[in-house]
Structure 1
Amino acid sequence: MHRLTIYRYLLMLFLVEMLFWGVSNRLQAQNTHPVLDSLRELLHNSTDQRTRLQLFNALARAHNTHDPSSKAINYARKAVALAQELKDWEAEATAYTVWGDLHAKVSRPDWAGALAYYRKALKIRQKLVKDNPGNLQLQMDLAALMSDIAYNYWQWGKLPEALRYYENCMELGHQIYQADSAFPEAEVFIALRHHNMGAIYWAQTDYRKALHHYLKALEYFERIQNKGRISMAMVNIGLVYLDCQEDSLALHYCRQGLLKAKEAQHTRYMAYAQNCLGRALERKGQTDSALYYFDQSINTYGQLQDLGGLGMNYHSIGNVYQKQKAYTESLTAYQKALLFAEQIQSRYWIAMNHQQIALLHFETNDWFLANYNIQKALQIAQTEGYREIVRESYRLLADIYQAVGNTAEALAFYKRYVAVKDSIFSEEKYKQLNQLKLQYESERQEQENALLRSEKSLKITQLKQAKRSLWLLTAGVVGLLGVAVLLLYSRQFLQKTRRKLQLQNEEIAQQAEELQMQAQALAEVNEVKDRLFSIIAHDLRSPLAQLEGVLGLVQNQRLSAEELQFLLPRINQNVRYTTDLTNNLLHWAKSQLQGIVTDPEVFDLHEIVQANIRLFEQVAQQKGLRLEAHITAPSLAYADRDMIALVLRNLISNALKFSRQGGVVSLQATPLVEAWQITIQDSGVGISLEQQTHLFSLKVGSTLGTAQEKGTGLGLHLCQTFVKQNGGYIGCKSTPGEGSEFYFTVPRANLTAPQNGQSQHHPTTNPSAEIHPLG
C-alpha cells in the first residue's frame, strides 16, 4: 500500500514538472506574464462573487509586482467595493493594503497619500484580531501591515514614527513565534524587522542599537541559510564599524558580504556591497581601488535603474575627489548625487549632499555658499534626527564663523559640536559594542559546534535510509519516464487547441477591458464639460449681468456720484474675475482642441515677476496686503514665456485672494542644479489636507476668497499642465490657518549657448516630470 502511494506521488510530481516546464517555456518565448494572463482568464470565466473578489485582490498584488499602474489601482478599488458588498473584512483590508503599496509607486513620492489607505486597512485588521484572539494568521497579517506602515514612514524620512511601528510589529511577531515557533514566515519576518530597525538606528547614529539589531538579523539569516540576506546584514555591520572607526572590521565584513552576494547571484546585493567595500577601501587610503568598486556599483545599479543607488555612489565618488583636492570633479559628483536624492525625495541624502557641498565651498574659501548649504543640511538633520549630520554641521559653522572673524558665534557652534559629539561617541558605547561583538562570536561558535554534531548523526541515519530506498527509486523513475513520454505525446494536440482558445479568450477580455476604460474616460470628460458649462452659465454670466445693470442705472442717471464711487471697486473686482476666468477658459479650450505647443525662449524671470507685481499692486493695496519679490536680475530661464507668465498670474492671484488684511505675499527664486524653483508664499487661510489632494485636478468648484472673491480651480489645473509641459514640477505646502506655499520649477538657461539667431540649448529636462501635490 505504501509503495503504491509513493509511485503515484512520484508520478504526479514528474508530470507536473514536465507540463510546467513545457508551458512556461512557451509562455516565455511569447514574452507574456503567465501570472497576470492566468488570473485575467480566471476572472473572465468566473461568475461567483467571492471568487471574483479573491481574483481582484490577486490581480492587484500581481500588478504591484510586475506592472504598478492605474490599471492595478482599479483592481484594488473593485476589490474594496465588492468586499464591502459581501462584508468580507479580511479581503477589504488586503485590498486597502495593496492599494497603499500601489499608490506609493504610481504617485510617488506621495507617502502621505499611501498612508491613508494603510490606516483604513489597519483599522480593519485590529478589529479582526480583537474578535479572533487565537488566530495566529490574522495576527501575522496585522504585524505585516504594521511593517508596511513603518517602511512607508521610513521612506518618507519620518524615522521616529517608523521605529514606533517596527517595535509594535516586532512585539507581535515574537508573540506569534513563542506561540508556534514553526509558524510560516515568523522567523523570516522577525529577522527582516531587526535588519530594518538597525538601518534606522544607524541613520540616527545610535550605533549600539544599530549593531545589536544587525547582529540579531544576521543570526536569523544564518540559521535559515539565506545567502542574499546574510550578505546584506554583513555589509551593514561593516558600515557600522566603519562609522565607529573600526576600519579593519569594516573591511572584513564588507568583503565577506560581497562574496555572499556573488554566491547568491543577487544583483542588488552585489551593487550595495560594491559601494560599501569602496567606502571601506577609501577609509584605508586605497583610493584607486575605491573608485573601481564605485564604478562597478554604478554599472550594476544602472542596470537596475535604481536612482537611490546611483546617487549614493556619486556621493562616494565626490568624497574621494574632495580628499584629492580635485574640487571641480568633486562638485560635479555631489551635484549629481543631490539631483538623484531630490528625485527620490530622500531627505537623508539631500542633507548629506548639502553638507559635503558646503564643506567643498569652505575649502575653496567661498564662505557664503558654504554657509547657505550647511544651513540647508542642518535644518533637515534637526527635523529628522540625523545626529551625525547635526554634529558635522555645527563643526563646519564654527569654522566658517572663525574664518570670517566672528569668534563669538564660532565658539557657540563649537560648544554645540562638542556636546553632540560626546553624546554619540562615548567610552561606554565602545565597551558595549565590543561586548556585543564578543558575545555574538561566542554564541555563533557554540551554534556551529552543535550543528556539526547534529549533522553527523543525521548523515548516518540518512545513509542507511538511502541504501534501502535506492533500488525502489530507480525502478520508479524508469516507469515514470515511460508513462510521462506516452502522456506528453498523446496530449500534444489537445494542448495546441486549448492554447488557441485561451488566446482568443484573452483577446476578447482585453477588448472588453479597453472598452470599459474608454467608457470611464468618456464619463469623466462629460463631467468636466458639464462643470465648465455651469461655470460659463453662472460665474461668467453673473458679473456681466451686474455690470449691465449698473451701466443702465448710470445711463438713466439713477445713480449719484457717491453711489457710483461705492460700486466701482466691486465692479472692478467682477471685471477682473471675469477677465481671469475668460483667459483660463480660452487657454484650457485651446489645449483641448489643438494640443499644447510650447515655444521656449530665453527670458528673465525678474522681468515677468516685476510685471505681475505691477499688475496686482492695486489689488494688494485694496486688501491691505504687502506684495514682495526677492528675485535678482538677471535670472535667466528657458521655457515658454507666456505659459510661465500665466502660471505666475494665477498663483499670485490665488495668494492675494486667500490672504487676510495685513498679510504678506512674497515671491522668491531659488537656483537648483538645472532649474529655478519659484516660490509664492502667503500668510492666508491655508488649505486643508483633503483639499490639497485635489488642488491640481479638474474637479472644478467655486471657492470664495477672504473678501468673497470667486474662484473655479481651473487656473491651478492650467498651471500644472503648463509647468509640466515646460519640463518642471509644481507642488504645494500648506497648514490650515497659517498660510500656503506654492512652488514650481522652470529650466535654467544655458549661458554658454548662442542667442543671436542660433539654436538655444538648455539643460535636459524630463517632460513627464512628476507632480508633488503635497510637497
Structure 2
Amino acid sequence: MQIVRFRVHPFFYMVILCGLPSMLLAQSGSTDSLLHAIDRHPQRDTDLVILLNKVGRLYFTKDPVLTEKYGREAIHISDSLGYTSGAMWGKRNMALAENSRGNLDKQMDFTTDALKLAEQLNDIHATSVLNADIGNIFIEQSKPELALPYQKKALYLKQSLRDQAEVARSLNSIGSCYLLLHKPDSALFFLYESEKIKLSLNDHKGLAFTYENIGHILYDKGQYREALRYYEISEKYYRESDNLPGLTKAYLNLGRVNTALRKYTDAARNLSDAAKLNEHLQNAKNTMIYYKYQASLDSARGNYIAAMSSYKEFSRLSEQYFNVEKTKFIASTKEKYESEKKQRENEMLKKEQLLHLSTIKIQQKFVIFSIMLFFVLSVITSILFRMYRRQQDLYLQLNNRNKRVQQQNLIILEQNVALESASQVKDKIFSVISHDLRSPLAILEGMLFLLRDDKMSSQQFRFFVDELWRDMKNTSSMMDNLLQWASSQMKGMRVNADDFDITAVLNREFELLLSLAKQKNISLTHQLSHAIMVYGDPDMIRLVLRNLISNAIKFTPALGNINIRYLMLSEKIELIVEDNGIGIAEADQPKVLSNIYYSTGGTQNEKGCGLGLPLSKDFIERNEGEIWFDSQVGKGTSFHFTLPLSEEENNTRRGYMFTITTDQLKNITQESVVNEKS
C-alpha cells in the first residue's frame, strides 16, 4: 500500500491557533452550565442522573476524581430508582476514571458490568460504545488479538446506527490493533478512513488520537520528520480539547521523536512537560515511559551516568508496576471468588428456609388439601426456576472460563512460534559451524601440526599459504554473514541510516577483494572514481558489496573479468556487479534471493553457507532499495541494486573507468613491502 503523506498548509495552523481559545471557553462554559443545572435540581430523579453522567464524562480528561465522584452518585441514585440506563452510564464513567489512573483491571470490571446492562436494555448505541471500550482496554494491555473482535463488533453496530463520529472512533481503534500486530499498511488504511470522517465532522478531539497513531507508524518506519509533524498536530488538538492524559502522551511522543532527530533541547522540554502533567494524573505507566525516554535522551547526549540512573528507575518502576498489577489481579480474583461463594451460601440458605417453611405450612394446613397442594406446586415451581437460573449462571461461568483457557492457548501458541523461530536460527548456526567452518580450521590445524613437528618444510608450507589464506578469508566472510543473519533473525538489527560516500565504502573493501581476485588471477575493476553521496546504513551496504563481489570472484574462473559500474537515476543510484563467470542455472535462479539458503561450490570448490545473498536482499530492502540479477549459464551474471541518493548529491557529475590489474597489484604490494621494511 502506498503511504499518502499528509501536509498541513500554514493557513490551517493559523485557523487552529485562532480558534483554540474560543473552543476551550465553549467547553468550559458547557461544564459550568451543567454544574449550575445540578445545583438548581435538588430532586433525586432520572433527570439529575443524566446531568451527573454528562458532567462526569466532561471531566474525564481533566479531573478523573470528579468523574468518579459524579459517576458513583449517579449509580447510587439510579439503584434507588431502578433506573438501569443511568446506572450503566455511571459505571462507564467510573471505568473512564480508572483508565486515567492506569487501573485497567478495575476499568475492565466496570465496563463489563455496564455492557451487561446495555445488552439487558437492548441499547445498540451503548452496546457499541462499551464493546469499543473493552477493545481499547485490550489495546492498552498490548493484546490486539483480543481487542480486534470487540472493535469490529463495535464498528458493525455503529455503522448500522449511521453514527459517523462513533464509526470514525472505531476505525481509529482498529488501526491501533493492526499497529500493535505490526501490520502498518492495514493500520494506515483504517486510520486514513477515520481521518476522512473526522475531517468532514471537524472533530479535532478525535483527530488527535488518529494523528498520534499515524505518527507511531511513521516513527517505526524511521520517518522521524514526518512522525514529528503528526505528533505536533496531535499535541495541538489534545491541548485544544483540554485532554490532559492525551497531552501527556503527546509530550512523551514528541520527546522520543526529537531525541531520534537529535533535537535534544526540544526533547528535554517535551519530557519535562510530560512529567509535570503526570504529577497531577499519577499514571504509573506514563511515569515508566518517561524514564525510558529520558534514558534514551541522556544516552544520546553522551550522559551515560544519567542515562543509567533513568534506566534503573524505569526498570524499578516496571517491576513495581508488574507487581502492583499482579497484586490487583489476585485481589480482584479473590474478591470475585468470595463474592460468588457468599452468593452460593445465601442461595443454599434460602433454599433450606423455603423447604423448611413449606414443610411447616404443609403440616399446619394438612386438612385443607387443595390449598396445600397449590402451595406445594408453587414452591416446587419456584425452586425449579431458581435451579434453572443457577444452571444458566453456571453455564455462563463455564463459558467465561473456556474463553480464558482459549486466550491462554493463543498466548502459548504465540510463544511456541517464537521458540520455533529461535530453534531454526540455532539449528542453522550449528549446521554452518559443524559443516562449513570446521573444515578450513581442521586443514589449518593439520598444516600447523606438520610445520611444528618439522614434517613439512617452510618452502612446502608457503606453497599452500595462498590457498589457506583464501580459505580463511572465505571462512571469515561466512562468519560475518552468519552473525549478521542471526542478528537479523532475532530481530536485533536496526538500520542506522545517514548520508555517506558509496565510493569511499567500496574503496575501503577493494584492496581485500583485489587480493582475493589475484588468488584466482581475475581482473577486478570499478568505475566509481568520485564521491557519490547516498542515504542508507553504510555498514549494511559495505556487507552487501562484499558479498556480491566475493560471490562474483567465487563463481568466475581464472583469467575472468569482474566489473563494478553504476547508473545515476533521478532520485537513486543503481550499482551493478557483473562477471563473465559460470552463471546460474535457470532452475536454481528462484532459490538465489529466497530464504531457502541455497549454496553451491565455487570454481575452485570455495564453500559458502547460503546466507550472503538473502542477507544482502534483506539489507537492501531495509535501506529502501531493490535488488535483482540477470544470469546466463556459461556467460556470466550481473547483480543490480539501488539506493536512494542524498539530497545534496550533484547528479550531473559522471565517472570514468578505474582499473587495477593483477600485475599492477603485484607491483603495489611489492612497493608496500619495501616501504614497511624501510
Give the TM-score taking structure 2 as reference length: 0.44
Larger radius of gyration: 2
